[in-house]
Amino acid sequence: MIAALALLDTQRLVRLSPVDLVIIIFYFVLVLAIGFYLREQANTGEDFFMAGREMTAWIAGLSFLSANLGSLELMGWAGASYQYGILAAHWYWIGAIPAMLFLALVMMPFYYISKTHSVPGYLKLRFGEPSRALSSVSFAFMTVLMSGINMYSMALVLKIVLGWNINFSILISSVTVAIYVALGGLRSAIFNEVLQFILIWAGALLIPILGLIEAGGWSGLKARIATNASAEYTHLWSTLGKFNDNPMGIHWTGIVFGLGAIISMGYWTTDFLVVQRVLSAKDLRAAKMAPIIGAGFKMLVPFIVILPGLLGLALLDTKLVGETQAIATNGHSYNEVLPLMLARYCGPGLLGLGITALIAGFMSGMAGNVSAFTTVWTYDIYRALIKKDASDAHYVSMGRWSTVVGVAISIGTAYLVMDFKSIMDYVQALFSFFIAPLFATVILGMLWKRATAAGGFWGLLAGTGSSVGMWAWVKMDPSALRYVALSPYARDMAENMYRALWSCLLCAFVTVAVSLVTKPKTDAELKGLVYGVTDIPSEGYVSMLHRPWFWAVVVGALFVVLNIIFW
Amino acid sequence: MKRGGSISIWFFIGISLLVNGVLIFGAGVYQLLYPPEKEVVLFRLHAGVWWGAILAVIGAIYCFYYAPGKGRS
């Protein structure tokens, strides 16, 4: 595989002009400068791992979203929209907005009041050490894999677009991330994530604007897609009545219950990568507003991700294919649609900014994973299981070193990822392994005071184990798909949705069953951790425009309208 | 977000937009005066000129408003 990629290095979509190189180099200089500037403000554990818990709602909210908006998102979902049509937008709307609002209004108070450093840390307080150990180890495993995926995506972009050597791309980008996160900790990661968020929009927004002009607006785009592919590609819900009526091979129950109710809830409310950003907020109101602000911007992201994929389907002369076929035929894969569109419209300067946007996306995704990994490793694995009584300075030092080690492991996983045919399917499989069952554990822990430590641990173990088991079952016997995904026509995405659903339900069932036969904690022990025995602090008297509930209703209403418009 | 006399993140963003905007605007104007042999699609719209100008103006506003010492976060 590496040899094949090395051969492709001789090809490139574009050549950078000097001004493009200046823009890219300036970006690297700026993110490193921010890291060096902030190193003096990362001396204590609270500073290094939690950014001093003094972020405003806007900073925490944009960082919350940016940590998720990696190059994987940009390239992978643009590719998915070329492959599956507008159905990919479900991952931005029903697959994100309800969960982000739920996090803000229902779950954030418990995370914030408990003053936990991490999601596994909350499990320790609620269910005890075994549950924390299980979730922290699985989370650490997942984050370094995700980080590797981000690296691979970035190296692929730079190889395709610029012809840069894949090893050089991985090395230069990962070393930069390691330096600025190791120096400034979470504060540096958050600062850079906000900068990267702005650059992503500045660099990517021109593609849909120019693309829509070329296509003749939305109606022209739909007409071209109907000619080039099928009219089904531009409908969000109306083709989901049967598995084989839509390009994704999925049923609406999979989208609503698998994606909307389980995977997205699990990801946006329990994946510490994103929750960590909100935990850095300066007060509870900011912590509740941050995910709502993130949700507002999340609804707009399809404009720079999904729309370019659809525009590629409508406008590109070249037919894009799967990764394996692209390598075999020396063609272009789905995942290359965004750089192809970039090369189509962007001349000198704009091209540099577009490439910077992709690099920024990579770095924000990788830095998010690395900073979350560092916190979970230091607090939930190293301090909990290896060295319990060290000084705060020792843990900060461990945090800096684990940043470097985390990046090094990620580099190794980047090369492993190259052997997987579809990046996004792989990520969804990982989510269903770890995140979906974790959601059941956390939500039962927060809302049901009868849930016990044994129930939480065995439920989480059963959910994770069953998810891996179902995945292995289908891999060994593809006909098992009819049982796991309810249809032999279901494709990878659909399988992931249903696997997540079953593992979450099994986790909930086992948690409830075991809890009912084991001894619960007292109300006093659960204070600050569980609904019904916790006093939620008042937000004080603030105007309607400053109330989280008001903005949650606004965002929720826009979400409904968008789904109706693109029905 | 800032702490006692430190620089706001929005100032860094302003610097980034200003520098990128000026570079893109300059490259766009150069291409307007000396069109390349191989043009990108919709070259006639000269996106680099107006997009660079927009970024530069926004960046300048942020640099001015969040300049160190003004006490805004």
Predicted confidence band of residue B2 (pLDDT cuts 50, 70, 90): very low
A401's enclosing H/E stretch is helix A392-417
The residue among A62, A198, A311 with the most chain B CBs within 10 A of its CB, best to mutate, is A198
Average of per-residue pLDDT across A304-317: 92
DSSP structural state of residue B34: S
Selecting from A27, A194, A350 the residue whose C-beta is nearest the C-beta of B13 gives A194
Q: State yes or no: pLDDT of B63 exceeds 50.
A: yes
Closest CA to A436 of A270, A278, A553: A270
CA angle A46, A50, A55 (to 5 degrees): 115
Largest CA distance in chain A: 70
Q: State yes or no: pLDDT of A166 exceeds 90.
A: no
Average of per-residue pLDDT across A256-272: 85
Q: What is the pLDDT of residues A113-131, one digit of tens each?
A: 888 888 999 999 999 999 9
Average of per-residue pLDDT across A458-469: 93
Cα(A344)–Cα(A209) distance, integer angstroms: 13
> Which domain range does residue A491 map to?
2-565
CA distance A42 to chain B (A): 12
Number of neighbouring beta carbons within 10 Å of residue A264: 27
Q: How many domains does one find in chain A? A: 1
Predicted confidence band of residue A422 (pLDDT cuts 50, 70, 90): low
* Helical segments of A330-384, H only: 337-345, 350-375
Number of neighbouring beta carbons within 10 Å of residue A385: 13
Q: So what's the ipTM on this one?
A: 0.93
A21-58: buried (b, 16+ CB within 10 Å) or exposed (e) per residue? Answer: ebbbebbbebbbebbebbbebbeebbbbbbbbbbbbbb
CA distance A348 to chain B (A): 6
Cα(A415)–Cα(A404) distance, integer angstroms: 18
Which residue has better confidence, A185 or A534? A185
Q: State yes or no: pLDDT of A442 exceeds 80.
A: yes
How confident is the model at residue A109, as a pLDDT? 87
Average of per-residue pLDDT across B30-39: 89
CA distance A172 to chain B (A): 20
How confident is the model at residue A71, as a pLDDT? 66
| Six token digits for residue A106 | 């229902």
The residues that bridge with A55 in the sheet, in sequence order, are: A281
Q: Work out the percent of chain A whose per-residue pLDDT is above 70.
A: 95
Predicted confidence band of residue A153 (pLDDT cuts 50, 70, 90): confident
Cα(A197)–Cα(A66) distance, integer angstroms: 5
Predicted confidence band of residue A446 (pLDDT cuts 50, 70, 90): very high
Number of residues written out for chain A: 567
Q: At what angle do helices A206-215 and A217-228 cross, to 10 degrees?
A: 80
What mean pLDDT, rounded, does chain A reach?
A: 86
The verdict on a CB contact (< 8 Å) between B41 and A23 is: no
pTM of the shown model = 0.87
Predicted confidence band of residue A111 (pLDDT cuts 50, 70, 90): confident
| CATH number of the domain that residue A418 is part of | 1.20.1730.10
Cα(A45)–Cα(A374) distance, integer angstroms: 12
How confident is the model at residue A428, as a pLDDT? 62
Q: Which of A432-436, B36-40, B64-68 has the lowest mean pLDDT?
A: A432-436
Q: State yes or no: pLDDT of A187 exceeds 70.
A: yes
List CB contacts (< 8 A) between B48 and chain A.
347-350
Enumerate chain A positions whose Cβ falls within 8 A of a Cβ in B. Answer: 17, 19, 22-23, 26-27, 30, 34, 37, 41, 52, 54-56, 59, 190-191, 194-195, 198-199, 202, 206, 210, 213-214, 343-350, 352-353, 356
Which residue has better confidence, A502 or A422? A502
Average of per-residue pLDDT across A65-91: 85
Question: Who's near A24: CB < 8 A, 6+ residues apart?
Answer: A16, A352, A355, A356, A359
DSSP structural state of residue A519: P
Cα(A268)–Cα(A80) distance, integer angstroms: 20
The residues that bridge with A281 in the sheet, in sequence order, are: A55
DSSP A214-246: HHTHHHHHHHHHHHHS-GGGG-SSTTTTSGGGS
- Does residue A494 contact residue A165 with C-beta atoms inside 8 Å? no
Number of neighbouring beta carbons within 10 Å of residue A532: 10
- Does residue A136 contact residue A376 with C-beta atoms inside 8 Å? yes
- Does residue B25 contact residue B73 with C-beta atoms inside 8 Å? no
Q: State yes or no: pLDDT of B57 exceeds 80.
A: yes
How confident is the model at residue A110, as a pLDDT? 86
Q: Establish, for the pair of chains A and B, how many residue pairs have beta carbons separated by less than 8 Å.
A: 98
How confident is the model at residue A164, as a pLDDT? 81
How confident is the model at residue A6, as a pLDDT? 39
DSSP structural state of residue A281: B
Average of per-residue pLDDT across A254-280: 86
Q: How many helices (H) and strands (E) does chain A have?
A: 28, 0
A233-259: buried (b, 16+ CB within 10 Å) or exposed (e) per residue? Answer: bbbbbebbeebeebbbbbbeebbbbbb
Average of per-residue pLDDT across A376-402: 92
The three-class DSSP label of residue A333 is strand
Q: State yes or no: pLDDT of A372 exceeds 50.
A: yes
Chain B: residue nearest A188 by CA? B9
Domain ranges of chain B: 9-65
Q: Which of A105-109, A401-405, A484-488 has the lowest mean pLDDT?
A: A484-488
Cα(A356)–Cα(A350) distance, integer angstroms: 10
Question: Who's near A175: CB < 8 A, 6+ residues apart?
Answer: A407
Q: Which of A122-136, A241-255, A449-463, B44-58 has the lowest mean pLDDT?
A: A241-255
CA angle A533, A276, A458 (to 5 degrees): 60
How confident is the model at residue A545, as a pLDDT? 84
Q: State yes or no: pLDDT of A542 exceeds 60.
A: yes
Predicted confidence band of residue A414 (pLDDT cuts 50, 70, 90): confident
Chain A: residue nearest B43 by CA? A345
The verdict on a CB contact (< 8 Å) between A350 and B20 is: no
Q: State yes or no: pLDDT of A10 exceeds 50.
A: no
- Does residue A225 contact residue A81 with C-beta atoms inside 8 Å? no
**Phi/psi of residue A442, nearest 5 degrees:** -70, -45
Average of per-residue pLDDT across A176-199: 90
The three-class DSSP label of residue A55 is strand
Q: State yes or no: pLDDT of A489 exceeds 80.
A: no
DSSP E strand boundaries for A270-414: none
Cα(A446)–Cα(A357) distance, integer angstroms: 38
